[in-house]
Structure 1
Amino acid sequence: MRITKLLVVDDEKDLLEIIVRRLRRKGFQVDEATNAEEALLLLKKNIYDVAIYDIRLPKMDGISLLKETKMIQQETEVLMLTGHGTIETAIKAMKLGAFDYLTKPYNLSELEMTIAKASENKLLKEKNDSMRKIIEQQNKFHIIGESSKFKEVLELTKKIADSEVPVLIEGESGTGKELFAKALHYWSCRADEPFVAVNSGALPEQLLESELFGHVKGAFTGANKDKKGLVEAANGGTLFLDEIGEMPLPVQVKLLRFLETGEFRRVGDVRERKVQVRIVTATNRYLENEVDNGNFRDDLYYRLNVVKLTIPPLRERKEDIPLFIDFFLQKANKTYKKLSAEALKQLSTYDFPGNVRELHHLIERGLLLSNGDVIEADDLLLPRQKGKISMLKETSRTLEDLEKEHIYAVLTDTNWNKTKAAKILGISVRNLYRKIEQFQFKE
C-alpha cells in the first residue's frame, strides 16, 4: 500500500507539533518546517504528494512558497491554511494552483479528509499521465497486421504492457518476437527507461553470465576493470532475453534467483546488488519439451511463463502479406514500385518458413533484380523457382521437412557461410550448427 508523503509548514511550533503528531499516527509520512527557507530545502531533496502551507509565514509568505513549489514540483498538491482575514488571499492561491484551502480554526478530521482528496487527485493525474504516454507510444510504435489471430495477440500485448509480470513470447524464427517485446516496453510506463536486449544463445556460459550480471576486476582472465552487466543497464526498464531456450543451465540458476529476489552478484563479487527490471523472454522452441528433456529448468519455466504471447506464423495470416509488402516498399523508399499479379499470387501461396523476415528479404531481392516499376515473379527468386527445392509441390510435407529444406536453401545461397546464413534465418550460429548436425547436411 502506498504511503502518502506530506510536507507541513507553519511557524506556530505548538500547532505544527500537534498536526504532525496526528498525521503520523494516521499513517502519513510527514516532514515539517517552520519557514519557507526550510521548506524549499526539503522540496529540493524529497518528492511530496501533498504540501500544507500556512499563508502567514515569516520572510516568504505561503503564496510565494506555493509559486516556488510549483516550479520545483509541479505535480505536488498544495493545501493552504488561512485565517478569516485572508480568505481572498487563499482564493488567489487557488488560482495559482493550490488544490484547496482551510480556514482557521479547523478540526484535524477536516484536514485529513482534504489531504485524502488531494492525494487521490494526485494519483489520478499520475494515472492519466501514464495512460497518455502509453497512448502516445502506441500511436508511434505501429505493428502491422489485420488478421484475427494477430489482433488477438496484439490486444493481449496492450492489456499486459503496463504490468510488471514476466512475459514469454513464443513463435517461429522471423515472426517478430523482438518487435512484440519492444511493444511491451514502449506501450508501458517504462517507455522512458532502457530497453536492453541480449541473445541468450550467442555467448558461452561464462561470457553470458558476465554480460548479464557484470563482473569485477580480476574475476577472470581479461577482466581488467569492473563492468556493469545488462541487468543493471536495464534498471527501471525492460530486459529482453531472446532465445531463452539456449541459455546454459548454470546461468538459468542465477537468472531464477534474480527473478525471485531482484538481487544478483557480479561475477567475482561478494556484494549483493538490487535492481527493478521487467523480464521479457522469447523462444522459437517448445520450452515444455526442453523441460521434459532436462535442457531447461521447470522452476524457471514457470517463473517466466506468467503470461505467454504466441505469435502466429505468416502462413497463418496471409491476409497480412500485402500490408507487409507496402511497408517494406515504403521502408526502402520505393513506393513507386509494384508487384505484378503473378508475383502477388506466388507470394500468397508460399508457406514462408522464414516468416516475415523471409518476406522482407524476398522484397529486397525483388527490388534489386527488377527492371522498371514492376517486380515480376521471377525477380523474387522464390526457392521453388531455383530448381533446387520444391517447397510446395507436396501438400503433405511436415513442418520439419520445410524447415530442413529452407535451411539447406539458405546455406546453399550463402555458399555455406554459417554466420551469414544464421543471420538470414534469424537464429544463432550455435543453433545453426545444431541444425546442420540434426539434418546431417554435407557441405
Structure 2
Amino acid sequence: MKDLPRVLVVDDEEALRELIVARLNRKGWKADGVGTAGEALARLGTAIYSVAIFDLKLPDGDGLELLHQARERQPDLEVVILTGHGTIATAIEAMRRGAYDYLTKPVNLAELEVVLEKAADRRALVVHNEGLRLASRGTATATIVGRSEAIRRMLDVVHRVAPTEVPVLILGESGTGKELVARTIHRESRRQDGPFIAVNSAAIPENLMESELFGHVRGAFTGATTARAGLVEAAEGGTLFLDEIGEMDLALQAKLLRFLETGEYRRVGDNRQRVADVRVVAATNRNLLQEVEAGRFRRDLYYRLNVVQVLVPPLRERREDIPLLVEHFLRLKGAAPDALTPRAMATLMAYSFPGNVRELFNLLERGLLLSGNRPVEPEDILVEQLFKASDPTLLPLAEVEKRHIRRVLEATGWNRTEAARVLGISVRNLYRKLEQYGWQPSHH
C-alpha cells in the first residue's frame, strides 16, 4: 500500500465524515476528521496537511471563510469543497479564491479519491518548486553577518550593484564568504526568481572545464556517450557565479569573453551557435592585475569582468563582527548563546584568522564537539598559534596537535572522515598523522 499524504476532512455530518475518513485511511491516506471550522483551525495549528475537504455549510461558519483562514495558516494547503446543488455558485467562488476543486453531495467516494490525489500532486509540485526557488536564492541562514564599517561599505556597493545587469568581480581572501556575497547580489537582483549556479574553476579539471561550462554533444570526446547541457544553460534567466576565475586557462578565457560580450556560445563538438540570458558574477582570491601582467589572465577579460569590484574584507579587519558571527553560528547549531566561556571568546578575538569566517565556523564546530555539555574553553577550539605564541610553558606544538587529533577522533567515535572534516584537513592527511603517531586504524 503506498503512503499517501495527510488530509483533513471538515464536515458536520458525522456519518459522512466518518465514512470518508475510514475509506481514506484504508486506502493509505492519513485522514483526520472534525465537525466545525474552529476544530479545523485548531488542527491546522498543530499539524501540517497536504489536502483538506471543507463542507461549505458548517455550524460555526462557512467554507469560504475557513478557506481564507486555513490558507493563511498553511499557504500550500490544497482545499476541495463539498457542496449541495443549491450552493454551486458559492463553490465556484471558492475556486476563484484558491480552492482546488469542488464536488457535489452526495459525494462519489471514488471520484473524491481521484480529486484528492491530483490536489496532493499539485501541492507536492508547488512545494518542490518553492524549495528549488529558495535554494537558488539562498536560504534565510545564508546571511551576511556584521555591523563593522568594513562590512557596511561592502554592503553599500552590493545593494547598489545588485539591481543592475553589469558584471561584478568579487575580491577577497579564501574563506571570507565571496559566494555568500554573490548569492546576496542574485537575491537582490531582478533575476532573483531564476537559478543561481555556482562553479569553482579550481575544482574542475582543466580539460573538463569547457564541457562543464558550455556543455557538449554526443561523441565530442571519449566518454561523451550522450549530449549534455552546460552550466551556462542551467543558469538561463539567472546568475552564473564563477568562483576562482583566476584558475581558468587562457583558451577557455577567450570563449568566456565571447559569451560575456554576445551571450553566444557553442557546446563542445557542436557547430550550432546558442544564446543564453545569464548574468555573470566572478570571484577570485588572486591579484588579477598581477596575473594579467604575468600573462596568465587575459587583459580584455579582466576589464570585461571588472566593471564593478566588491571587496570582501578579511575577518582580521572587522574583529568587532566576531561576537555577532559567533552568536549567528551558535543559533544555527541550536547551541546556547553563552556556550563559549569569556576566555574562549577572548581567544577568538585575539586570533588573526588566516582562514577567515570559514576558519571561525570550523573552530566553533570543533569546540562544540569537544566540549560536550560543558561551556567551550580555549583548549577546545585550539588556536595553535595562540598556544605557541602566548605561553612558552605549554607543551610543544607537535604534542598539542597530537593530543588534539586524539580528542577529535574520540569525540567522533574514530570516524576518520568526520574527524578530518572537524579538524579541517583531508582524510589522506589524517591517515598520514595516524601512521606518524603509530596509531593503527583499529587503534581506539
Shorter-chain TM band = 0.5 to 0.7
Q: Which moved more, 1:371-380 or 1:253-262?
A: 371-380
- List aligned pairs for 1:64-143, cutoff 5 A: 140=140, 142-143=143-144
Give the Cα–Cα distance (whole angstroms) in 2 for the partners of residues 232 and 369 of structure 1: 45
Give the Cα–Cα distance (whole angstroms) in 1 for the partners of residues 138 and 146 of structure 2: 14
Q: State the partner residue of 1:247.
A: 248
- List aligned pairs for 1:171-190, cutoff 5 A: 171-190=172-191
The amino acid of 2:301's aligned partner reads L
**CA RMSD, 1 decimal:** 3.2
Unmatched runs of 5 consecutive residues or more in structure 1: 1-132, 394-404, 433-443
- List aligned pairs for 1:40-439, cutoff 5 A: 140=140, 142-335=143-336, 337-384=338-385, 387=388, 390=389, 424=424
The amino acid of 1:309's aligned partner reads V
- State percent identity of aligned pairs: 53
Give the Cα–Cα distance (whole angstroms) in 1 for the partners of residues 217 and 138 of structure 2: 40
Give the Cα–Cα distance (whole angstroms) in 2 for the partners of residues 264 and 335 of structure 1: 51
SS in 2 for 1:168: strand
SS in 2 for 1:225: coil
Q: CA deviation at 1:312?
A: 0.4
- Over residues 165-200 of structure 1, what are the superposed CA-to-partner deviations in whole Å (9 max), with x where a residue is unaligned? 100000001100000000010111111101000011
Q: CA deviation at 1:383?
A: 1.4
Q: 1:139 to 1:213 in 2, by over 3 A?
A: closer
SS in 2 for 1:375: coil
Contact 1:205 1:251 in 2 (8 A): no
Contact 2:172 2:312 in 1 (8 A): yes
The amino acid of 1:169's aligned partner reads I
Q: 1:425 to 1:180 in 2, by over 3 A?
A: farther
Give the Cα–Cα distance (whole angstroms) in 2 for the partners of residues 159 and 233 of structure 1: 26
Contact 1:265 1:271 in 2 (8 A): yes
Give the Cα–Cα distance (whole angstroms) in 1 for the partners of residues 161 and 194 of structure 2: 17
The amino acid of 1:369's aligned partner reads L
Q: CA deviation at 1:336?
A: 5.4
Q: CA deviation at 1:374?
A: 1.5
Contact 1:343 1:377 in 2 (8 A): yes
Contact 2:246 2:284 in 1 (8 A): yes
Give the Cα–Cα distance (whole angstroms) in 1 for the partners of residues 289 and 307 of structure 2: 14
Give the Cα–Cα distance (whole angstroms) in 2 for the partners of residues 425 and 187 of structure 1: 35
- Over residues 43-83 of structure 1, what are the superposed CA-to-partner deviations in whole Å (9 max), with x where a residue is unaligned? xxxxxxxxxxxxxxxxxxxxxxxxxxxxxxxxxxxxxxxxx
Contact 2:198 2:242 in 1 (8 A): yes
Give the Cα–Cα distance (whole angstroms) in 2 for the partners of residues 207 and 256 of structure 1: 18
Q: CA deviation at 1:380?
A: 1.1
- Over residues 369-408 of structure 1, what are the superposed CA-to-partner deviations in whole Å (9 max), with x where a residue is unaligned? 1143411111111112565xx4x79xxxxxxxxxxx9xxx
- Over residues 318-376 of structure 1, what are the superposed CA-to-partner deviations in whole Å (9 max), with x where a residue is unaligned? 00000011111111111255211111111111000000001001111110111434111
Give the Cα–Cα distance (whole angstroms) in 1 for the partners of residues 425 and 320 of structure 2: 23
The amino acid of 1:199's aligned partner reads N
Q: CA deviation at 1:201?
A: 1.2
TM-score, normalised relative to structure 1: 0.57
Q: 1:315 to 1:169 in 2, by over 3 A?
A: same
Contact 1:336 1:373 in 2 (8 A): no
Contact 2:176 2:314 in 1 (8 A): yes
Contact 1:199 1:241 in 2 (8 A): yes
Give the Cα–Cα distance (whole angstroms) in 1 for the partners of residues 371 and 213 of structure 2: 45
Q: Which moved more, 1:200-209 or 1:220-229?
A: 200-209
Q: State the partner residue of 2:28.
A: none
- Over residues 228-267 of structure 1, what are the superposed CA-to-partner deviations in whole Å (9 max), with x where a residue is unaligned? 0000100110000000000111111110111111100000
Give the Cα–Cα distance (whole angstroms) in 2 for the partners of residues 266 and 175 of structure 1: 34
> Following TM superposition, where does structure 1 have runs of at least 4 consecutive aligned residues deviating by more than 3 angstroms?
137-142, 412-415, 423-426
Give the Cα–Cα distance (whole angstroms) in 2 for the partners of residues 283 and 263 of structure 1: 24
How many aligned residue pairs are there?
273
Q: CA deviation at 1:425?
A: 8.1
Contact 2:327 2:337 in 1 (8 A): no
- Over residues 79-138 of structure 1, what are the superposed CA-to-partner deviations in whole Å (9 max), with x where a residue is unaligned? xxxxxxxxxxxxxxxxxxxxxxxxxxxxxxxxxxxxxxxxxxxxxxxxxxxxxx9xxx89
SS in 2 for 1:356: helix
Give the Cα–Cα distance (whole angstroms) in 1 for the partners of residues 276 and 179 of structure 2: 23
- List aligned pairs for 1:23-38, cutoff 5 A: none
Q: CA deviation at 1:205?
A: 2.4
Unmatched runs of 5 consecutive residues or more in structure 2: 1-132, 392-396, 410-416, 430-444
The amino acid of 2:185's aligned partner reads L
Contact 1:378 1:385 in 2 (8 A): no
The amino acid of 2:236's aligned partner reads N
Q: CA deviation at 1:148?
A: 0.5
Contact 1:138 1:187 in 2 (8 A): no
Contact 2:264 2:274 in 1 (8 A): yes
- Over residues 255-288 of structure 1, what are the superposed CA-to-partner deviations in whole Å (9 max), with x where a residue is unaligned? 0111111100000000000011000001011101
Give the Cα–Cα distance (whole angstroms) in 1 for the partners of residues 269 and 138 of structure 2: 42
Give the Cα–Cα distance (whole angstroms) in 2 for the partners of residues 229 and 358 of structure 1: 32
Give the Cα–Cα distance (whole angstroms) in 1 for the partners of residues 341 and 239 of structure 2: 42
Give the Cα–Cα distance (whole angstroms) in 1 for the partners of residues 275 and 359 of structure 2: 41
SS in 1 for 2:169: strand
